[in-house]
Amino acid sequence: MTDYQLMIDSQPYDCMAPELNALRKAAANLYRRFNREEEEDEQLILLQALVGELAEGAFICPPFQCSYGRHISLGLGSFINMGATLLDNAPIRIGAGVMIGPNVQIYTAAHALDADERLAGVETALPVTIEDMVWIGGGAILLPGITIGREAIVGAGAVVSKDVPAGARVVGNPARILPPKQRL
């Protein structure tokens, strides 16, 4: 099995494998061109070439960075503000009507905890799912393997390490659920 297939299957893989380096370089070429492009029509063409799925009305503002791009799906009318970093070693599924603030980071990759394995490039990747009509505040960080439930709100700067239930509001580091009446 290739390192790419191991990565997609959420199995340990060599993150420095030549096939993965080549895919990351190709994605970097596209997102750098996207980030420099001034014409929105041309940006959209580059974005469509970069990400796996870009539904109607969905857009990502430059500057933007990702690992592979091909594992990102962005639902109908969803919007990612400037400065986003999406490490899409595993799928990042973003539903419809999602709003993501500036400088949000979404990570699917996790290095080995054992130092020798980590230095050898052992990594795993777990998907991140953001369901419909979620709002993620600026500077939030979403860690590997989590799901943000429908209509949830992630406060600015929150570090989300566990699933967020539908309709919940979370803040802080680590993110914690706010009581229903408490303001963000």
**3-class DSSP state of 97:** coil
* 71 given a catalytic annotation: no
Number of CB atoms found within 10 A of residue 95's CB: 19
Residue 43: both structure tokens together: 């940006």
Look-up of token digits 């500036």: 102
d(CA 136, CA 149): 12
d(CA 150, CA 87): 22
Helix (H) or strand (E) holding 169: strand 169-171
- The active-site residue out of 111, 121, 151, 157 is 111
76-85: Cβ within 8 A, 24+ apart? 80/104, 81/138, 84/60
Active site residues: 111
